[in-house]
Amino acid sequence: MNDSHAYLDIHQELFWDGDHAKYKLAGGYARIATIFNQIRAENPNKTLVFDCGDTIHGTYAAVKTKGEALIPILNYLDFDAMTAHWEFAYGPEHLKKLTKKLNYPLLAINCYNESNNELLFEPWIIKEIGKLKIGIIGIAATIVDKVMPSNFSKGIYFTMGNEELPYYIKKLRNDEKVDLIVVISHLGFPQEMKLAMDVDGIDILLSSHTHNRLYKPAIVNNTILIQSGCHGSFIGRLDLSISQGKIVKFKHRLITVAEDIQPDPDANNIINQILNPYRDILSQVMGYTKTGLNRNTVLESTMDNFLLKSLLEETNAQLAFSNGWRYGAPVPPGKITLNDLYNIIPVNPPVSTVELTGQEIWIMMEENLEHLFSNDPYNQMGGYLKRCMGINIYFKVENPKGYRIQELFVEGKKIKMDQIYKAVYVTSQGVPSKYGKKKNQLDVHAVKVLQNYLSNNPIIKTEIQGTMTVV
């Protein structure tokens, strides 16, 4: 499992169908439990289950309790190991406290204490299935201390993990005499493809972060690499045939956690205990949408256009910026509930304004384009492209760093490098701290801004506007 983002219950998911999108109910940890139980029953004492991270954050109950609410259901699912990314949102010390309550370890070879350069978490474990010894190595998201809010990485730092990995593979194979090496990673699919090419000796690489639905594994440098969508809407199953400690055959299936899967009763009871205190308030209808709200497109999304419109109406700024988040279950045409608003922006950050020069806007957007489209996968970081409104950018993906933008317009006019523009944004991922002057944190948070917008516009229609155009 990867990138479930604390979607405990069944929820809407987007599926592409020809030239359009369809919304269907999918996911939920109780249905995932059913799948796990079935696979374990088919392969008693021969099944390993891993969580590649982005699990203990992303929905109201998770954020409200700083991840505590998820501990019972995660222990019930009984993973063998996990790694992390958004789990650091509550701060490293709190994450360490959470992991002590889990009945399985969080692994990371690339997360270090600043004070002594020692690892914050265990780097590896060994699992034995009969006479087979399997070494499990974890790699956490490397971007936590680079593009995420600073409190995520207080007192710690991250590396890519590519330099450490050969050492641990050698140690496990030579000293611990393991037969297979499994890496659970939260670097992202492009990064993990390069990692598998660069580092010999990885048998299985369980990928995450970029929300890829891999219906077929990627095979590179004798490494089998899989990734399984997001929101817990999909589970990746990999069956291995082993002979003399080597993989001789494998079968992969990307399982859709469909609505018709019977929920596991015990898991369902745990989830109801977690969610029942919040169901009444979160089910309140805030408004309606004529268009499906989703984050399934890279350059611009209908969901974020709703957020950006709300920010602009709240502040009368010229421009609006937010992070290119990948997570957030879609909202099909119809009612919008308070739960949907918290799914859109679960951190519910304060809204801020800033004055930016035209040159700063240009440089900031070039930087973001490099983060997304860098020729070197190890330099790719963040989610999708920064979400913007009030500007139009025409750019070339294939150009080198700093030279992608061809044209940039603000409110329909060519940008002037020395002109001051007023912008509104949420989080330092919207406008990093190094940009702008006269920053002002307002006494209003993002979810309230969305509510205010729906109060004034009870039926919304937010479509793709062509803010970012590849030329």
User: Does 75 have pLDDT greater than 90?
Assistant: yes
Output the average pLDDT for the chain.
98
Q: Which fold has domain 11-274?
A: Purple Acid Phosphatase; chain A, domain 2 (3.60.21)
* Residue 375 CB burial class (10 angstroms; 0-12, 13-18, ≥19): exposed
**pLDDT digits over 93-122, tens only?**
999 999 999 999 999 999 999 999 999 999
Count, residues in the chain: 471
CA 115/CA 313 separation, integer angstroms = 45
Tokens at residue 363, please? 């440089």
**pLDDT digits over 11-37, tens only?**
999 999 999 999 999 999 999 999 999
Predicted pLDDT of residue 7: 99
**pLDDT digits over 362-415, tens only?**
999 999 999 999 999 999 997 899 999 999 999 999 999 999 999 999 999 999
CATH 2.60.120.260 fits 284-470, yes or no: no
The pLDDT of 75-100, averaged and rounded, is 98
User: Does 278 have pLDDT greater than 90?
Assistant: yes
Predicted pLDDT of residue 297: 96
Helices 29-42, 265-282: axis angle to 10 degrees equals 170
User: Does 461 have pLDDT greater than 90?
Assistant: yes
Predicted pLDDT of residue 339: 99
CA 201/CA 185 separation, integer angstroms = 15
CA 209/CA 202 separation, integer angstroms = 19
Residue boundaries of the structural domains of the chain: 11-274, 284-470
State how far the alpha carbon of 367 is from the alpha carbons of 53, 381, 432, in Å.
26, 11, 11
The pLDDT of 323-329, averaged and rounded, is 97
From 187, 211, 374, select the one nearest 301 (Cα to Cα): 211
**pLDDT digits over 402-449, tens only?**
999 999 999 999 999 999 999 999 999 999 999 999 999 999 999 999
Predicted pLDDT of residue 382: 79
The pLDDT of 228-233, averaged and rounded, is 98
Predicted pLDDT of residue 255: 99
